[in-house]
Amino acid sequence: MKILFSDEEMFHIDEIYNSQNDRIWAVDRLAADTNGGIRQKRKFPQKLLVWLAVCSKGVSPLVIFEDGTFGHDTFGVDWTFQQDGAKPQIHAKSQEWCEKHFPCFIDKDHWPLSSPDLNPLDYCIWDELAHQVNWDAVTSKTTLIYEVKRAVRKVSLDVVFESCSSWTNRLYRLSQVKGNYLRQ
């Protein structure tokens, strides 16, 4: 059986930044600020919602929601659609549509807890894609779109293969901890 993992991600023009992960060593505040100690953010940054799917064979075309969607023409009928618990995906109309249009899918009532621990996009590939974006070049929504499109082409297929291939092991580990959070 082939499994297609999909997810959507919101990219902001201000870059992905987690202050808990970044430290600056400096002799004083001025030196720290000179080396990036102060992060300015726009009050209402432009955003870009994208959708991506992966399987052990590779990465789907990037879908920017302004441009529409795709399905059977791209992937054929021999695959299983797996979702996470995002509200648009668990909505009754979404579930009905999936039931009608997908040859096989895991419905919301059978999708395991802690789904981000299972979806390769959540636990690996979005981070890989974000690290490929040249955030210094992102100054507008247009440049953000360009950079995300460029970055998705640079995501290592080895990373995609390894993260998708490890899915069954992660599923087994999740069953061992009875659906609780997986520790690395």
Domain of 166, CATH number, reads 3.30.420.10
Residue 135 resides in a domain: yes
Give the whole-angstrom CA distance, residue 93 versus residue 154: 35
User: Tell me: the pLDDT tens digits for 133-142?
Assistant: 998 899 888 9
Is 182 a member of any domain? no
Residues spanned by the domain of 22 = 3-176
Domains identified in the chain, total number: 1
**Would you state the structure tokens that stand for residue 56, as one six-digit string?**
């052990």
Nearest 5°: the CA angle 138, 69, 106 is 110
Per-residue pLDDT, averaged over 65-85, amounts to 58
pTM of the model: 0.62
- The answer as to whether 181 is a domain residue is no
63-72 confidence digits (pLDDT tens): 887 643 445 5
Q: Which letter, b or e, does each residue of 45-69 get, where b requires 16 or more Cβ atoms within 10 Å of its Cβ?
A: eeebebbbbbbbeebbebbeeeeee
Token pair for 38: 């102060």
